[in-house]
Amino acid sequence: MVRKGKGLGVGMKREEIFQALTQLRKGLFQIIIVIILCGIIIFPISKEWLRFLRDTSLKIDLVAFSIPEAFFSLLKLTLYTSLFFSIPVIFYHIWRAFSPLFRSKGLNSGSAVLITSILLFYLGAFFCFFVTLPFGVQFLLGYQSAHIKPMISAGKYVSFCTFFIFGFGLTFELPLILALLSYLRVVNAAFLTRNRRYAILLIAIAAAVITPTPDIFNMALMGGPLYILFEIGVILVKIIERKRARAEMSLSER
């Protein structure tokens, strides 16, 4: 049985979680305003963005299968690009809402967490855009023949690229997520090292789902960095546990 007012083994009160969600809801309006302002700036140059996205990995012309598809593909690209550039603001409001939960557990370096989360997201996104995505698209286009010529919809191409770019960006948050879960005592280093083989299996599954192609090379381009990030997360968890043990020891000696 779980006592009333407690989370499931993480030592957080439900009231604290509700307060965090309320704070996040207040920041949602500012997030929407920022996304809209970014969209207003980006839409006039959305054709150039689409051309840049195509030239980076596709190298062939896009097509529109309906009269409004060209317009809606540019609108979709504008929305995704606005979200991409609004990530610092989005992460700021998320961290601002949930940081009291972690401060109560001894995490005081809030700005470092926020900056790290933003850097990790963009590192994963740019790694996908400049490395994995071009390889993946060319691999898939390699199956064309004299009887199979690709006709790629502009709207579907935008969705295809943005799915993997955001997917890589979010998966690169793995070490930070493990560190934050350690502060909440959800995971510990012993648990992570004991279940490393299951982590490798989950990483392989994630790489197979997130990468745009089923070949081993492109899966390794995702799985390799993700495993390294996992090991970095394990090291961070060990550091956090050592600091916590020293702090508890010093309190017990007083």
pLDDT digits (tens, 9 = 90+) for 41-50: 999 999 999 9
pLDDT score recorded for residue 8: 40
Q: What angle do CA 86, 92, 96 make, to 5 degrees?
A: 150
Specify whether the CB–CB gap between 129 and 165 falls below 8 A: yes
Per-domain boundaries in the chain: 12-171, 173-245
Model confidence at 122, in pLDDT bands (50, 70, 90)? very high
Judged by average pLDDT, the poorest of 128-132, 149-153, 244-248 is 244-248
Nearest to 171 by CA among 131, 209, 124: 124
State the average pLDDT over residues 152-169: 90
pLDDT score recorded for residue 166: 94
Specify whether the CB–CB gap between 7 and 62 falls below 8 A: no
pLDDT score recorded for residue 2: 40
Q: Measuring CA to CA, how many Å separate 140 from each of 132, 135, 145, 154?
A: 12, 9, 12, 17
Q: Locate 234 and state its tokens.
A: 């394990």
- Look at residue 63 and give its three-state secondary structure: strand
**How many whole angstroms separate alpha carbon 237 and alpha carbon 243?**
10
Q: 49-97, pLDDT tens digit by residue?
A: 999 988 888 777 888 888 899 899 999 999 999 999 999 999 999 998 8
Reply yes or no on whether the pLDDT at 248 is more than 80. Answer: no
